Structure 1
Amino acid sequence: MCERRLDFTSALYLGLRHPCHELAPWPALTLGKPAALEEVPGARAVAHDLAQLQGCAAATLLPSTLHLFWDLFGMLAGERYAVLVDEACYPVARWGAERAAALGLPLRTFRAATLAGGAAWADATGRRPLILADGYRPGRPEAPPLALYAATAARYGGLLVLDDTQPLGVLGEQGGGSVRAHGLQGMPVLVGASLAKGFGVPVAVLAGDAGTIARFEAVSETRLHASPPSAATVLAAAHALRLNRERGDSMRGALARRVGQFRAALAAQGLQVEGGAFPVQAVRLPGWMRLGDVHEALRRDGVQAVPQRRNGTARLTFLLRADHTAAEIAQAAATVGHHLKELA
């Protein structure tokens, strides 16, 4: 059994970890009061910087995307929307949409090819389309056509809500995510995202136009009834944004090189990898090969990957990071190739 572990299960894409000695000191973890009464020191400045990074006019912080989408769809449920949910949407944002449905909004799922029909259905019922989608869904070769989604929302006076957790920090100018990557500035778009992946901070941000963000803060239930992000978390977010300004492009360049190296090494062994240029790379297994056997063989050789089964197909998924070395990528690819041939 290998003693050294190569971890490909962590979504800290840029390799940011924020140990306490790198952060400014904090006098208390919490103020003991909700954000509706008083913001944690530094939260407003971090939200402002995140809004600018994402190409939006304003932003606000929440403890998690669960808090964010619960509140957001609770607010939007009071308007004449029909909810259109991309069938590939991540569960947490979908739970928010389902809350809106429970509060009375009609809901349908869609694919890119059926969005126009869904928007026309909403319009025919006297409602505006409220379109929910992920900025990027790992495992897909490319992002959904977000410009089309935003244009469809604008055509009918509707709104596009994005879960941008995967792209934030990784895609777009300076890691600003999908609004910048797809040129959606000025479109009817609200962006919810966690910083826990690209920036390594467990806090969420809702960004959009200033009026909507102000209204959200005024009616938010979790800003009133739940604890806000901790002081340590806000400091870590400020630290992440500073590092992003100083060397974010360098980290994203290193990450892109690791992805390219991993894909090329497996392709050289005749293995197909899913995931495009994004740092979540999946190796599809033959139907007769047992996922548990391959996963355990890799584990014994010191390579930790994520075993997944989607639509009846087994995959081993590797989450690549900017702080993986070239030698670690080469070792992981060689180990995968060895065991797939051994178990064939």
Structure 2
Amino acid sequence: MIDFTSALYLGLHHPSRLLQPWQQLTLGVPAALAEPPGAQEIAQELAQLQGCERGVLMPSTLHLFWDLFGMLCQQPVTLYLDEGTYAIARWGMERLSARGVAVHPFRHHDANALLSRITLQARNRKYPVVVVNGFCPACGTAAPIGDYLDIVRRFGGLLVLDDTQALGILGEAPALHSPYGHGGGGILRWSGYSGPDILVGSSLAKGLGAPVAVLAGSERLLRRFAVASDTRVHSSPPSVAVIQAAVHALAVNRLQGNLVRRRLAQRVGQFRGGLARIGWSSTGGWFPVQTLRGIAGERAIRLHQQLSQNGVQTVLTRPRHGKEPRLSFLFTARHHAREIERCIDMVDTLAREVKRQRKLNDSRDRQLWFAGQRYTYL
């Protein structure tokens, strides 16, 4: 079975034999009283990787965004939500909605729509907070960070990024021969922006393969977050095992990350080139989430099932606004060239069969229609 369903893009595994040993998984106290061993150090390393002053480690992005929006609602704020924002950040924002805070959605990656929204609300003099994904795998493009920042700074607000998709994949100085850039620091490093008015929440569970999250930003905001956090008081902190997995992930990223990212880019390029060879294409750019163009709804479901029956596992994805499902392939650096070729051959074979079957059905329908017309005129 060839698996194109894993979001472990760099293919990083963290077996216990490669991690530093630990004597206990947890201290039995919340992070507000005592950080688990290594938590502060790894949080700081992650913050520096992303181009930020300070980081705080959290068990997940759900904990992170719950606490972040809880902190923000301590002052008069208005939220502006990019319509493509991932569900986890939306769940955190529901905490603010329940407290009567206004949430204004705007069109995905549309800076003009954001400007119009903020301008209309400017007279309320509330602190504007803009929430967006750093990179959108559904459309295969990065958010217009620079445009959003210009607007946020014009109104004295804050930009909140969910950078889970890009962390570990995108980095500094992207170029034709290295489309992901270098270092794997995420969307801020890739786009070249930074500042005290940016907060970045990211899970390491995709690119870096460790189920833990980090909030990164300015020293002032992160100090405030650490004090205001509810889950750092009432929930368990990340386990020592998970922290050691993050330590291992960053060590691998330092030593081999750029090589692994080049290998990943080669696999994505091979897939896109193979599709072009058989007259197909995909959305996603160079990102390791590739979605077939022109295949949606029942056709996508049918092809998904047929690929599975022939040993190729794919993902059915549903774009925002409840559109029809589409067929996606998630690539990792562990995929082999021969697996990509087999996948392309299988897609080509099955697509030809679907097309042939459709022609047969159309021909049969025409025959039935003509037979009905002859019967009508008798």
The TM-score by the shorter chain falls in which range?
over 0.9
Please tell me the residue identity of whatever aligns with 1:70: W
1:28-52 deviation line (CA, Å, top 9, x unaligned): 1111111011111001110010011
Greater Cα shift, 172-181 or 48-57 = 172-181
Please tell me the residue identity of whatever aligns with 2:55: A
Task: Please tell me the root mean square deviation across aligned C-alpha atoms, in Å.
Answer: 1.3
Please tell me the residue identity of whatever aligns with 2:135: Y
Greater Cα shift, 150-159 or 67-76 = 150-159
Quick check: 1:48–1:58 contact (8 Å CA) kept in 2?
A: yes
Please tell me the residue identity of whatever aligns with 1:129: P
Counterparts of 2:131 and 2:328, CA distance in 1: 26
Q: Does 1:227 align with 2:236?
A: yes
Please tell me the residue identity of whatever aligns with 2:119: A
Give TM-score, length-normalised by structure 1: 0.96
Quick check: 1:297–1:339 contact (8 Å CA) kept in 2?
A: yes
Name the SS of the counterpart of 1:33 in structure 2.
Answer: coil
Quick check: 2:61–2:201 contact (8 Å CA) kept in 1?
A: yes
- 1:166 corresponds to which residue? 165
Unpaired stretches in structure 2, ≥5 consecutive residues: 173-182, 356-378
Q: Does 1:177 align with 2:186?
A: yes
Greater Cα shift, 330-339 or 187-196 = 330-339
Out of 214, 217, 221, the position equivalent to 1:208 is 217
Q: Does 1:59 align with 2:68?
A: no
Q: Does 1:326 align with 2:337?
A: yes
Quick check: 1:291–1:314 contact (8 Å CA) kept in 2?
A: yes
Query: How does 1:218-297 map onto structure 2 within 5 Å?
Result: 218-286=227-295, 289-297=298-306
Q: Offset at 1:17?
A: 1.1
Counterparts of 2:199 and 2:285, CA distance in 1: 26
Quick check: 2:297–2:325 contact (8 Å CA) kept in 1?
A: no
Q: 1:9 to 1:214 in 2, by over 3 A?
A: same
1:163-208 deviation line (CA, Å, top 9, x unaligned): 0000000012200001111122125100000000000000000000
Q: Offset at 1:222?
A: 0.2
Structure showing greater radius of gyration is 2
Out of 88, 94, 107, the position equivalent to 2:90 is 94
Q: Offset at 1:308?
A: 2.6
Q: Offset at 1:121?
A: 2.4
- 2:350 corresponds to which residue? 339
1:132-154 deviation line (CA, Å, top 9, x unaligned): 00001112131120111112111
Q: Offset at 1:285?
A: 4.7
Counterparts of 1:287 and 1:294, CA distance in 2: 10
1:197-228 deviation line (CA, Å, top 9, x unaligned): 00000000000000110111111000000000
1:114-142 deviation line (CA, Å, top 9, x unaligned): 01011212322111210000001112131
Counterparts of 1:289 and 1:103, CA distance in 2: 41
Unpaired stretches in structure 1, ≥5 consecutive residues: none
Counterparts of 1:191 and 1:29, CA distance in 2: 27
Quick check: 2:164–2:203 contact (8 Å CA) kept in 1?
A: yes
Work out the number of aligned pairs and report it: 340
